[in-house]
Chain A
Amino acid sequence: MKFIAIFAVLITGFLLAYATIDMPDWGDPNSPPSTHVSPRYIEKVIIETATPNMVTAVLADYRGYDTLGETVVIFTAGIVCILLLRRSPDG
């Protein structure tokens, strides 16, 4: 059983490493994640929102809808833990 697990892990690791041949180099300023919309956020964040911290500005203003879904996710996790585990004191 453990031999099948090790074999599956090695095959998956080799396939993932083979896929990194096409990926951009480490620290490349012209890689696809660092172009298209990210320079627009970096250059316009002071003009449009007066916030020096770019991470907070993108999280709460430009992508504020995703953060609303995020807050609902953690609220749901809290409610699920209460519903699964909490039982009223036996009187």
Chain B
Amino acid sequence: MVKLYENLIVQTVSRLLIPAMQIFGLYVIAHGHGSPGGGFQGGCILGASYILMLAAYDIAELKRHMSETLNTILCCTGVLIYAGIGLLCVILGGNFLDYSVLYKILPVDPVKARYMGMLGVEIGVGIAVMSVMISIFLNIASAGEHEGAAR
């Protein structure tokens, strides 16, 4: 339950800012090809939105939106997407992480297939960085005890 009249201004402003930060983080990941950005940068912005939620509210509120099991599964999924695309290129007949052989399953020509391979890889990196940022901050700020800590 959110306690009212405790940091009311910070909580209201963070309610407005957190969705805007998440949309901006997804924009930075998706437009990494035409403007400055990419996987690491967008992942940090997405992680920062959850850290703002942790700073304005308490740990129980964060656990409602991003549980610990989901966080750990997302962290492993990011690395798995990256290595999975590399292995997919080996299965289709090219070298490891050689995205130009992806034209066999995607309806594009080999030059554009490298573009699509890079996009998939950046999405994997962004997911991994977001969940690791949340996990490191949560464990260090609460010193390991997620239930008994006050803030």
Contact = CB atoms under 8 A, between A and B. Distances in A.
Interface of A: 47-53, 55-57, 59-61, 64-65, 67-68, 71-72, 74-75, 77-78, 81-82, 85-87, 89
A87 to B, nearest CB: 5
B83 interface: yes
A74 B129 contact: yes
Given A60-B122, A71-B78, A55 B36 contact: yes
Interface stretch (B2-10, B18-26, B53-61, B130-138): B130-138
Interface string B95-112: 011010000000000011
Interface residues of B, number: 43
A78 B118 contact: no
Interface string B10-51: 000000000000000000000011111111000000000000
Interface of B: 32-39, 72, 75-76, 78-79, 82-83, 86, 96-97, 99, 111-112, 114-115, 117-118, 121-122, 124-125, 128-129, 131-132, 135-136, 139-140, 143-148
A68 B132 contact: no
A91 B35 CA distance: 52
B54 to A, nearest CB: 15
B97 A56 contact: no
A51 B115 contact: yes
A81 B147 contact: no
> Which residue, B112, B139, B140, B143, has most C-beta atoms of chain A within 10 A?
B139
B132 A50 contact: no
17 contacts: A47-B111, A48-B114, A51-B114, A51-B118, A53-B33, A56-B33, A61-B114, A61-B117, A68-B86, A68-B97, A71-B78, A71-B125, A75-B75, A75-B78, A81-B139, A82-B135, A89-B148
B144 A72 contact: no
B132 A75 contact: yes
